[in-house]
Amino acid sequence: MDIANPSTNNEIISQENLLLKDSEKPTILFELLKERYAAEHNMRERSTTFVIWVLGLGIALIWVLLIQVHLSILQKIITCVFITSYTGFSFKFIHEISQGFKSNRKIIVKIENLLGFHTTGYYIKNDSIFPEHYKINYNKYKPSSHFASLYWLLTIVAIFIILITIANPVKIDTKTSTDKIALNSSSKC
């Protein structure tokens, strides 16, 4: 078999040979649907795990900020820029997973339609396995959706860290202050 030159292969599968019998199609669709459901689960799990790690880092930073007596203005600026950047990159990462989730969801709805899961009377008399609105609203933003919740968690922790950073008192150079006190007291003598 010449892989580089497929036109010379007698074993090439033509499009006509790929046509399946109607009785075989549901089996293949069910397997595809299982794979898509597993991919959907993995995307949710991956995004949740990522956000849990980010939240853990955020809570650790909050703890450090709360036990730190004072931050200089430069430290506050660096912390705020870091948190803003880190949150932006986290949003981007979650957004990419969310886009993959939406694409996967379109495929799922298509397969579910082909299998008749949304069709009234196909499997259950006067009812369908899934409601019609599942296939219509799958791509619309819902505040209770998985990814919206993750965005809210990231946003709340980022805002909280920035507020703690800003509210943290400015670091005072104690050595300079004590030296000034010592100088003032010795010059009065």
Q: Percent of the chain beyond pLDDT 90? A: 38
pLDDT 10s digits, 82-113? 999 999 999 999 999 999 988 898 888 889 88
Predicted confidence band at 143 (pLDDT cuts at 50, 70, 90)? very low
Q: How many whole angstroms separate alpha carbon 49 and alpha carbon 122? A: 38
Q: How many whole angstroms separate alpha carbon 90 and alpha carbon 82? A: 12
Q: How many whole angstroms separate alpha carbon 186 and alpha carbon 189? A: 5
pLDDT of residue 41: 94
Predicted confidence band at 12 (pLDDT cuts at 50, 70, 90)? low
pLDDT of residue 139: 53
Can you read off the two tokens belonging to residue 172? 């005072």
β-pair partners for 170: 71
User: What residue spans define the domains of the chain?
Assistant: 39-171
Of 144 and 49, the structure prediction assigns the larger pLDDT to 49
Q: Is the pLDDT of residue 26 over 50?
A: yes
73 close to 170: Cβ distance less than 8 angstroms: yes
pLDDT 10s digits, 147-166? 999 999 999 999 999 999 89
pLDDT of residue 97: 94
pLDDT of residue 43: 95
pLDDT of residue 22: 77
Closest Cα to residue 68, out of 160, 178, 171? 171
Own/partner contacts of 142-146, CB < 8 Å, gap of 24 or more, are 146/44, 146/47, 146/48
pLDDT of residue 39: 95
Please count the residues of the chain.
189
Q: How many whole angstroms separate alpha carbon 103 and alpha carbon 158? A: 29
Can you read off the two tokens belonging to residue 168? 């943290």
